[in-house]
């Protein structure tokens, strides 16, 4: 094998996936003053790995990746990380809040710094959680379906729902999205408890009560999942946890599907332990468990948490600015280091 010759030109800047907004496309194009903008020719993980190894990306310093680019690259781990390291990649700027498509430990070991979009997603995702919570509490899914079938409320009366006022919202994962949801839920007259790995500063908690995981399960009328997906949170809600919950509880998940055992949720819904659920994410996206699809009392969205023009544009701009900072200053605005595993 011939030795790779070092490039004397400026660094390469790799775009993995598509930029949607014109303002951001213009911002991306302006990076050409700092390096050579490139895109992969491959369209699947096998070909992408071969393209990496061929030398096509040699001299790459930074990469912008989208959530959908996983179809091109596969999960960013193992051989892919090693091939990108050999090509020269130092900065991987991810357009999303979660790292479940990226093995951060592998990147860290390879000297690749990874960044995300940690705060811009908060408001839109919390809005989605509130929408799903209200729809699930009020049993709105069935009448919505019946109305579009021309049956108005339906051939049989829809089940009576529940008011949010006076209910206890338990937030599992009181990060930025959880705190935003807390403020919005309080406008509906709900009280809020939360559980984190550690208790928040009182000012940051904003009056929400810190409780143990078990107490949150036992006392909440609505439970919202707002956790990152990692080894410690996979299936953190399953059969044993449902058994501890109030009968008639409502479950909301706008985080990541595998945080909750979907089969266990279906069983809890069928037994009426869980009154309803509002879901934006699924364990095997885009596949949805047939027991959820067939349940008229469940509110389902196809991963729409940040699906607004304003939020998507802000997210894209943030990633471009992260790439720019990496090229100009050799550093990321925000980055993640180290593994996330069970303790």
The pLDDT assigned to 10 comes to 85
The pLDDT assigned to 157 comes to 84
Which tokens sit at 45?
A: 């993980």
The pLDDT assigned to 9 comes to 63
List active site positions. 256, 285, 303
Please list the ranges in the chain whose pLDDT falls under 50.
1-8, 337-343
The pLDDT assigned to 335 comes to 60
Closest CA to 233 of 343, 70, 68: 343
CA angle 236, 240, 243 (to 5 degrees): 120
Instruction: Report pTM.
Output: 0.89
The pLDDT assigned to 83 comes to 98
Distances from the Cα of 20 to the Cα of 17, 29, 315, angstroms: 10, 13, 11
Q: Give the other-Cβ count within 10 Å of 88's Cβ.
A: 17
The pLDDT assigned to 336 comes to 54
- Residue 74 burial class via C-beta count within 10 angstroms: exposed 0-12, middle 13-18, buried 19 and up: middle
């Amino acid at each position: 094998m011939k030795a790779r010759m070092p490039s004397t030109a400026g660094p390469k800047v790799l775009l993995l996936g598509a930029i949607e907004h014109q303002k951001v496309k213009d911002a991306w194009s302006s990076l050409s003053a700092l390096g050579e903008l490139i895109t992969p020719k491959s369209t699947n993980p096998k070909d992408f790995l071969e393209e990496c190894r061929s030398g096509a990306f040699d001299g790459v310093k930074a990469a912008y990746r989208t959530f959908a680019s996983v179809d091109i690259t596969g999960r960013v781990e193992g051989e892919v990380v090693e091939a990108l390291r050999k090509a020269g990649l130092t900065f991987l700027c991810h357009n999303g809040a979660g790292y479940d498509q990226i093995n951060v430990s592998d990147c860290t070991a390879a000297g690749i710094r990874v960044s995300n979009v940690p705060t811009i997603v908060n408001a839109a995702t919390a809005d989605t959680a509130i929408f799903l919570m209200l729809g699930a509490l009020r049993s709105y899914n069935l009448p919505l379906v019946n109305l579009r079938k021309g049956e108005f409320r339906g051939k049989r009366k829809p089940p009576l729902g529940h008011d949010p006022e006076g209910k206890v919202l338990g937030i599992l994962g009181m990060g930025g999205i959880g705190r935003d949801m807390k403020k919005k839920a309080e406008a509906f007259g709900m009280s809020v408890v939360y559980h984190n790995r550690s208790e928040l500063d009182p000012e940051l908690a904003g009056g929400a009560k810190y409780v143990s995981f078990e107490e949150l399960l036992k006392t909440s009328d609505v439970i919202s999942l707002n956790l990152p997906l990692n080894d410690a949170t996979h299936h953190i809600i399953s059969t044993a946890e449902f058994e501890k919950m109030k009968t008639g509880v409502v479950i909301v998940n706008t985080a990541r599907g595998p945080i909750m055992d979907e089969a266990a949720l279906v069983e809890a819904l069928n037994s009426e332990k869980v009154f309803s659920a509002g879901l934006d994410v699924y364990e095997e996206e885009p596949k949805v468990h047939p027991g959820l699809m067939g349940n008229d009392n469940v509110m389902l969205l196809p991963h729409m948490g940040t699906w607004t023009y304003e939020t998507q544009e802000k997210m894209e701009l943030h990633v471009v600015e992260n790439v720019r900072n990496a090229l100009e200053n050799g550093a990321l605005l925000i980055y993640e280091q180290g593994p996330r595993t069970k303790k």
